[in-house]
């Protein structure tokens, strides 16, 4: 893979994240970031304290003060300018009501899209982002400071790098000048894609990102798998079953007995999915979907999913974030200290999936079957291509570190602040080497 610069930089001086009780200051500044995911857009409003002396680099305090989720995903409105306009207006109205009016004009606004937009392809991305730009450059839409280019689509690898930076920033890795072996890895799970990022113990042969933080360089392995997020994988399992069974009624092993849903295949042709609650069969489907290539097709060993190279995870501690928590919480696989009970995950998932839908509260019916299949997928992914030992205790399922959210958006906002305060990308950088 050719060398190339990944266009993100991270300001990494004396940064800190604190709770709202510490933000009483007349120079409080705000930033708005729209995290446009595959199934929803999350409104994230960050705040920091700016120093009085503009000539000095500020000590930034960055916190999320509001988080709202808007469905469906922004990519749903690609090609529908009126619909996208109404959708964004609703989100921005919440931001406007949250941030003090006197700060509106100084508040930067960014839109970063992830897997949902990446799935649209080159033409869809271009047209969709052009619509977003047209809407946000219209000053009657919102009172915030939006500049051209403030909306973009992140690559999966950029998303992984941002999340890795955010987690290690929150855990103090960069502040304390700890050795590389003290850094944590990141496992991200979204609706459309999944990411893994960590510093391997062995030399990197591919997929290397050199992350410079505070003048210190870290050689980071980052890989993103498009179409391997939870929603994408559910759709792929549906297709496997349709190919195997035909239709119009499908026995679905990843759905609870008593559950049923209708899936539109093409045009007006639909099939009915009836849950059969067969976790062993469901798990085998996922194992096949994430299988590593056979040795003769694994050209750079070891391989993870397909023929993609991945170094061993060894003893690295990982934080599993985003959608990892939902199904793992439901099946009871997260221990009190947030450690994933990987050795017990499969058994707990099987017991969960063996239940009838009628055993759940009606309020839980919407996600009960999804949690069954998702937990089996996570087990297949972690113990298969990712290479975690079945008895590993190295994974913590957590959305927070030090009381603050682990979120790629935090890394992204740090990036934007780095350019705002320093204007110099050399303070910290991320370069893709190979």
The pair of three-digit structure tokens given for residue 159, joined into one six-digit string: 């998303």
pLDDT of residue 214: 62
Instruction: Assess whether the previous peptide bond of 271 is cis (omega < 30° from 0).
Output: no
The pair of three-digit structure tokens given for residue 292, joined into one six-digit string: 């590593």
Helix, strand and coil in the chain, % to nearest 5:
35, 25, 40
331 vs 327: CA distance, rounded Å? 6
13 and 104 inside one domain: yes
For 119, 227, 263, 271, the CA distances from 266, given in Å and listed in that order, are 18, 19, 9, 10
Domain tally for the chain?
2
Catalytic residue at 66? no
311 vs 403: which has the higher pLDDT: 311
pLDDT of 422 strictly over 60: no
pLDDT of 2 strictly over 70: no
pLDDT of residue 208: 85
The alpha helices in 6-80, defined as continuous H runs, are none
Report if residue 183 sits inside a domain. Answer: no
Q: Bridge partners of 211?
A: 218, 430
User: Which three-class secondary structure state does DSSP give residue 146?
Assistant: coil
For the entire predicted model, the pTM comes to 0.84
140 and 277 inside one domain: no
Report if residue 199 sits inside a domain. Answer: no
The 10s digit of each residue's pLDDT in 61-114 is 455 555 689 999 999 999 999 999 999 999 999 999 999 999 999 999 999 999
Rounded mean pLDDT, 375-403 = 95
The pair of three-digit structure tokens given for residue 139, joined into one six-digit string: 């000053």
Residue 187: pLDDT band with limits 50, 70, 90:
very high
Report if residue 176 sits inside a domain. Answer: no
427 and 363 inside one domain: no
215 vs 429: CA distance, rounded Å? 9
388 and 416 inside one domain: no
Q: Which long-range contacts (CB under 8 A, 24 or more apart) does 305-309 make?
A: 305/225, 305/228, 305/385, 308/207, 308/223, 308/225, 309/205, 309/206, 309/207
147 vs 422: which has the higher pLDDT: 147
From the list 342, 418, 401, the residue with the least C-alpha distance to 169 is 401
Feature table: binding site for ATP: 191-195
Q: Give the active site residue among 78, 159, 207, 231.
A: 159
Report if residue 382 sits inside a domain. Answer: yes
Ramachandran angles phi, psi of 50, nearest 5°: -95, 140
From the list 277, 380, 259, 373, the residue with the least C-alpha distance to 327 is 373
360 and 257 inside one domain: yes
Feature table: binding site: 191-195
Residues of 94-114 as b/e, b for ≥16 C-beta within 10 angstroms? ebbeebeeeebeebbbbbbbb
85 and 135 inside one domain: yes
Q: In the block, which residue shows the tokens 């916190």?
A: 63
Report if residue 217 sits inside a domain. Answer: no
For every residue of 323-392, DSSP letters joined together read THHHHHHHTT-B-TTSBB-HHHHHHHHHHHHTSBGGGS-GGGHHHHHHHHHHHHHHHHHHHTTT---TT-
44 vs 92: CA distance, rounded Å? 11
Q: Where are the beta strands (DSSP E) in 202-309?
A: 208-213, 216-226, 249-252, 260-266, 269-275
pLDDT of residue 429: 54
The 10s digit of each residue's pLDDT in 326-370 is 999 999 999 999 999 999 999 999 999 999 999 999 999 999 999
269 and 149 inside one domain: no
301 and 356 inside one domain: yes
Rounded mean pLDDT, 194-211 = 90
User: Which three-class secondary structure state does DSSP give residue 240?
Assistant: helix
Interaxial angle between packed helices 156-170 and 408-421, expressed in degrees from 0 to 180 and rounded to the nearest 10? 80
pLDDT of 405 strictly over 90: no
| CATH number of the domain bearing residue 36 | 3.30.420.40
414 and 308 inside one domain: no
50-54, 310-314, 418-422, range with the lowest pLDDT = 50-54
Report if residue 320 sits inside a domain. Answer: yes
pLDDT of 292 strictly over 70: yes
The pair of three-digit structure tokens given for residue 355, joined into one six-digit string: 């239940």
What would you report as the CA-atom Rg of the chain, rounded to the nearest whole angstrom?
22
| CATH number of the domain bearing residue 384 | 3.30.420.150
The pair of three-digit structure tokens given for residue 64, joined into one six-digit string: 């999320």
238 and 312 inside one domain: yes
pLDDT of residue 20: 38
Q: Bridge partners of 218?
A: 211
pLDDT of 215 strictly over 90: no
121 and 264 inside one domain: no
Report if residue 276 sits inside a domain. Answer: yes
Q: What is the mean pLDDT of the chain?
A: 86
6-15, 172-181, 368-377, range with the lowest pLDDT = 6-15
Domain that holds residue 88: 4-157+407-432
33 vs 110: CA distance, rounded Å? 5
104 and 245 inside one domain: no
Report if residue 223 sits inside a domain. Answer: no
23 vs 30: CA distance, rounded Å? 11
Number of H helices, E strands in the chain: 10, 18
């Amino acid at each position: 893979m050719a060398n190339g610069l990944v266009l993100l930089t991270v300001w990494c001086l004396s940064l800190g994240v604190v709770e709202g009780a510490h933000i009483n200051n007349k120079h409080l500044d705000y930033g708005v970031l729209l995290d446009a995911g595959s199934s929803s857009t999350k409104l994230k409003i960050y705040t920091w304290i700016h120093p009085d002396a503009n000539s000095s680099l500020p000590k930034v305090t960055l916190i999320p003060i509001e988080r709202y989720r808007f469905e469906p995903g922004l990519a749903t409105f690609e090609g529908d300018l009126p619909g996208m306009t109404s959708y964004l207006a609703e989100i921005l109205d919440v931001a406007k009501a949250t941030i003090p009016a006197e700060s509106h004009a100084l508040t930067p606004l960014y839109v970063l899209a992830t897997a949902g937009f990446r799935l649209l392809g080159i033409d869809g991305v271009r047209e969709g982002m052009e619509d977003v730009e047209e809407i946000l450059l219209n000053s009657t839409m919102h009172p915030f400071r939006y500049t051209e280019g403030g909306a973009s689509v992140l690559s999966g690898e950029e998303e992984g790098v941002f999340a890795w930076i955010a987690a290690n920033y929150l855990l103090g890795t960069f502040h304390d000048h700890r050795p590389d072996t003290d850094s944590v890895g990141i496992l991200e799970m979204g609706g459309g894609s999944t990411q893994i990022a960590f510093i391997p113990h062995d030399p990197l042969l591919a997929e290397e990102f050199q992350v410079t933080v505070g003048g210190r360089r870290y050689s980071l392995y980052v890989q993103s798998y498009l179409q391997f997020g939870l929603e994408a994988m559910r759709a792929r399992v549906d297709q496997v079953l349709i190919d195997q069974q035909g239709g119009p009624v499908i026995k679905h092993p990843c759905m609870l007995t008593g559950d049923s849903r209708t899936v539109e295949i093409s045009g007006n042709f639909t099939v009915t999915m009836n849950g059969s609650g067969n976790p062993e069969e469901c798990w085998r489907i996922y194992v096949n979907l994430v299988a590593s290539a056979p040795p003769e097709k694994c050209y750079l060993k070891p391989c993870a999913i397909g023929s993609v190279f991945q170094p061993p995870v060894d003893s690295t501690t990982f934080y599993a974030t985003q959608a990892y928590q939902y199904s793992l919480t439901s099946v009871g696989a997260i221990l009190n200290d947030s450690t994933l009970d990987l050795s017990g995950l499969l058994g707990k998932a099987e017991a969960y999936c063996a239940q009838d839908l009628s055993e759940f509260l009606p309020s839980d019916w919407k996600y009960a079957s999804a949690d069954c299949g998702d937990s089996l997928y996570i087990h297949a992914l972690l113990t298969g291509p990712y290479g975690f030992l079945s008895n590993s205790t190295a994974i913590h399922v957590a959305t927070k570190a030090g009381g603050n959210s682990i979120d790629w958006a935090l890394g992204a906002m740090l990036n934007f602040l780095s350019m705002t305060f320093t204007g110099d990308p050399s303070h910290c950088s991320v370069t893709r080497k190979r």
